[in-house]
């Protein structure tokens, strides 16, 4: 192979060609562990946010749900009565 692996050409060294590293987020999202009580029993979830609706408080939760072909991960709004602090 002509030039081999060390040939830089007009581009310079790789360290000069890569993008700047992404900066750290200034604020972490308010994600909390929780327990979700549903048709499959008490399962773990991640609470992403709260919202008050006319029928009460609801949490936006990421959680596992059993389907015919196995477990799926879903994100949904659930009534506060189904959620428990972990």
Q: Is the dihedral of CA 62, 64, 67, 72 positive or negative?
A: positive
> Do residues 34 and 45 lie in contact, with contact meaning Cβ atoms separated by under 8 Å?
yes
Residue 6, pLDDT score: 59
Residue 30, pLDDT score: 83
Digit-by-digit pLDDT tens for the chain (86 residues) are 555 565 556 666 666 666 666 677 677 678 999 999 999 899 999 999 999 999 999 999 999 999 999 999 999 999 999 999 99
Among 86, 79, 72, which residue's Cα sits nearest to residue 38?
A: 79
**Pairing of the two strands 56-67 and 70-79:** antiparallel
Q: In the chain, what are the domains? A: 22-85 (2.30.30)
């Amino acid at each position: 192979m002509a030039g081999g692996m060390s040939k830089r050409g007009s581009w310079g060294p790789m360290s000069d060609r890569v993008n700047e590293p992404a900066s750290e987020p200034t604020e972490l999202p308010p994600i909390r562990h929780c327990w979700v009580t549903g048709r499959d029993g008490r399962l773990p979830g991640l609470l992403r946010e709260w919202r008050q609706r006319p029928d009460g408080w609801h949490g936006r939760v990421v959680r596992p749900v059993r389907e015919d072909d196995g477990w799926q991960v879903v994100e949904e709004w659930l009534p506060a009565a189904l959620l428990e602090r972990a």
